[in-house]
Structure 1
């Protein structure tokens, strides 16, 4: 494993109780950071913090709860230290259905969590990063945000929106030495697959030239560099983790 220096850094990781978020938490801690896992699943958070040890803390919070996010951020800054890293990993797949059959409430739920939630989380951490003239932010999008997937229009639209947000925000805060980037992973064997059909999983897997799922540790390896001080120039950009599906 390449050594990434995150000594002295404090990272907030949304969706941190499992999947991508938990894998990144392990890598950040191995690199010297302290982490605060944010998730709405209190029981899963307890298990995750138990696995990670003393370098991990947690906040039970829903990323669509703006007041809750502000309180969680204030608590981390007081109890753990100044937040210098944000990884926004929380998200849902939503249901699979043709657009003309897609429920309005389900559409709104996916957009509220995946896109609006990303906006809310970034909005709450940006002021303190600007005040300190430093920060590293990675927002997890998806290969679907580049290419779209049939029968998953809400998910694709929400993840495409994340890319637009990253490109705008990265330009806004570049002068503060805050890097804001996105990653676009292909399908990985995480809990989010429980939300979609077997046929949809097979479709997504068939589109990956590597011929396999993304491993969560592979994602963590890329993110660890993106949130380090070594990433001192690149911002407002999108990093591919699609196994060759998208080459742009």
Structure 2
């Protein structure tokens, strides 16, 4: 009886689908879930990244190339996949940070395609297949609560995601819907920045953050594992930022 009581809080034997799972936070979460005994399925738009990521995951892990800007591609994937337990969405292309006066509006619109609309579409077509006790975990960022100059698009996307989480938690109940809100995390997300700017950003984080270091993908992955395993929190945006919003 004791083991049965603990079973709902385990990822052992659960099927976890990670969109954006071939690199960065998504891959770190796939590894962490697999270590807990989950069967992981990683999704990306890039087959080469999927193949590379699968070499870092346990045997039996699966990976599929899916165009996350295409509604039909997302729908067809989930219709083919069938039932599973947890959806994790961390996908997003590198953002370009610009002051509003220098922002290309058409380019700015495209940043919502994968980060917001891709997540929205994935939830639409994945939610009917989520097993009882399962969950949806999205991604936001501290740019919503603590933006800097040039962060208007990033802040807008993060704010939109956090509002979406609360609305979906109400609409899709009893499926749990939450998000993780990372601060600056040292991943390939920042590769579009010139190297000197990127290193300057990381150095500034080390100097000012309460924990005196830049976050790693593995730090954030632990929050996703928690959100999948816990059974009584929904509509929450969990901050993992080294103290970003406090300084």
**TM-score where L is the length of structure 1:** 0.88
2:4 alignment partner in structure 1: none
Helix, strand or coil at the partner of 1:143? coil
The answer to whether 1:182 aligns with 2:187 is no
1:70-219 → structure 2 map (5 Å cutoff): 70-77=75-82, 82-129=83-130, 132-174=131-173, 176=174, 178-197=175-194, 198-199=196-197, 202-203=200-201, 205=205, 207-219=208-220
Measured after TM superposition, the shift of residue 54 of structure 1 is 2.0
- 1:193-234 CA-to-partner distances (Å, cap 9, x unmatched) read 102344366346255322211121111112111111xx1111
Q: Which runs of 5+ in 1 are unaligned?
A: none
CA distance in 2, matches of 1:245, 1:87: 24
- The equivalent position to 1:63 in structure 2, one of 68, 73, 76, is 68
Query: CA offset at residue 14 of structure 1?
Result: 1.0
- State the secondary structure of the residue aligned to 1:234: coil
Q: Structure 1 241/187 Cα, relative in aligned 2: closer, same or farther at 3 Å? A: same
8 Å CA contact 1:15–1:37 kept in 2: the answer is yes
Secondary structure class of the residue paired with 1:53 = coil
Unaligned runs of 5+ in 2: 1-8
What CA distance in whole angstroms lies between the structure 1 residues aligned with 2:58 and 2:27? 13
Classify the secondary structure of the residue corresponding to 1:51.
coil
How far, CA to CA, are the matches of 1:173 and 1:180 in structure 2?
8
**SS of residue in 2 equivalent to 1:73:** helix
The answer to whether the 8 Å contact 2:17/2:41 transfers is yes
Is residue 2:235 matched to residue 1:236? Answer: yes
User: Does the CA contact (< 8 Å) of 1:166 and 1:181 recur in 2?
Assistant: yes
The answer to whether structure 1 residue 11 and structure 2 residue 16 are counterparts is: yes
Q: What SS does structure 2 have at the residue aligned with 1:16?
A: coil
Looking at structure 1, the residues matched to 59 and 81 of structure 2 have their Cα atoms a distance apart, in angstroms, of 14
Equivalent residues in 2 for 1:34-49, closer than 5 Å = 34-49=39-54
For 2:58 and 2:65, the matched residues in 1 are separated by 17
The number of residues matched between the two structures is 234
Which residue in the other structure is 2:245 paired with?
246
The alignment partner of 1:180 has SS state of strand
Contact 2:187 2:216 in 1 (8 A): no
Q: Measure the CA separation in 2 of the matches of 1:42 and 1:105.
A: 27
Quick check: 1:31 aligned with 2:36? yes
User: Normalized against structure 2, the TM-score is what?
Assistant: 0.88
Cα distance in 2 for partners of 1:157, 1:93 equals 15
Please tell me whether the aligned partners of residues 36 and 76 of structure 1 are also in contact (alpha carbons under 8 angstroms).
Answer: no
